[in-house]
Amino acid sequence: MKLYEELLETLSSSEEPISGSELAERFGVSRNAVWKSINKMKEEGYLIKSSKSGYVLSRENPHPVSEDLKKALGTDEVILLECVDSTNNIAKELAIRGAKEGTAVFALEQTSGKGRLGRTFVSNRGGIYFSVILRPQVNADSSVFITVAAAAAVSKTLREVFNKPFPIKWVNDIFCGDKKVCGILTEGSFNAETMMFDFAVLGIGINLADQSDNLPEDVKLTAGSLCSEKTVPASLYTKIASGVYKKFFEYYADLSSERKFMNYYIENSYLDNKDVMYIKDGRLHSAKALRINSDAGLVLEEDGKITVLKAGEVSVKRV
């Protein structure tokens, strides 16, 4: 067994802190070697508290481990960070520097998580926040299907893990009951010469553990979480993240052909038959949402007429 694994096993089975010198003596290595292994564990996502009495591995906040994530995602291009402003920002920087399609950036926490339409996405510890670099070979008109494929991938993965439906609120919010549990933000760098994307960044935020104690009041009203516990095993994190990643790439491969994922997206629409409101041209509209069409447009009945919204956002009228 490598020193790293021996230390991890020792710390995992001890409730009490163990000092660096004791660990060094126990395994016949230098304190510097212990220190290096501890740092590697921290980089891997383990939460290790160090005090005068030594090191202790926190159990209260299990972390995904980047090696586990890499294995589950089936790629080495995975970066797992503790705390960033926004994983979309990091992924964009990497994409500009030439990072490969499929590179995924995860963070345990975001200080400036970005939502759609310039909103903030509250990203406390306990959620799954990640961004994936894409180099789509599709024109701007087809780009909406990236987000749609991602929404279908999240909903389908969650259905498989939790064995219940997770409706999709057009365009890309995933609901559990009447609460939003996932948001998706796709940002792209469009090349006007080629009329194609240089790259796109697909950002997905999933509320896994219950964070209700730390949410602003307005967010509390609309946001829910997948689990009612405040801490969730790292294995569940990895299962959901890798499930979404793999399913998304399965759908992404079908983006320019049959788009079979559209059937799932259409069948799992949250808005069907709901009364909705939306703002267009500075005016508040009221309508009934009928269905999603095969172009991912929202079909509405408004003032006795059928209209289709191609982009934007609607809110459900509360009764």
Q: By CB under 6 A, tell whether 115 contacts ligand BTN.
A: yes
Give the count of residues interacting with ligand BTN (CB under 6 A). 21
Please state, in angstroms and rounded to a whole number, the distance separating the CA atoms of residues 228 and 4.
34
Q: Considering the complex, what minimum distance in angstroms separates the CB of residue 187 from ligand BTN?
A: 9
- In whole angstroms, give the CA distance from residue 74 to residue 39: 25
Residue range at the interface with ligand BTN (CB under 6 A); choices 3-11, 12-20, 114-122, 244-252: 114-122
Q: Does 129 sit near ligand BTN (CB under 6 A)?
A: yes
Stretch that binds ligand BTN, among 70-78, 181-189, 218-226, 252-260 (CB under 6 A): 181-189
Closer to ligand BTN by CB, 62 or 203: give it: 203
Task: State the pairing for strand pair 196-207/179-191.
Answer: antiparallel
With CB under 6 A as the contact rule, which of the stretches 46-54, 137-145, 183-191, 247-255 interacts with ligand BTN? 183-191
Smallest gap from residue 38 Cβ to ligand BTN (A) = 29
Binding status of residue 113 toward ligand BTN by CB under 6 A: yes
Report the distance separating Cα 212 and Cα 228, nearest Å: 10
Nearest to 231 by CA among 215, 212, 211, 209: 209
252's tokens: 């992404």
CA 85 centroid distance within chain: 15
Tokens linked to 287:
């309508």
Tokens of 120: 């903030």
Of 37, 66, 103, 131, the residue at the interface with ligand BTN (CB under 6 A) is 131
Work out whether 183 is an interface residue with ligand BTN (CB under 6 A): yes
Give the count of beta carbons closer than 10 Å to the beta carbon of residue 213.
8
Alpha-carbon gap, residue 120 to 175, rounded angstroms:
18
Binding residues (CB under 6 A) for ligand BTN: these are 86-88, 110, 113-116, 119, 121, 123, 129-131, 173, 183-185, 203-205
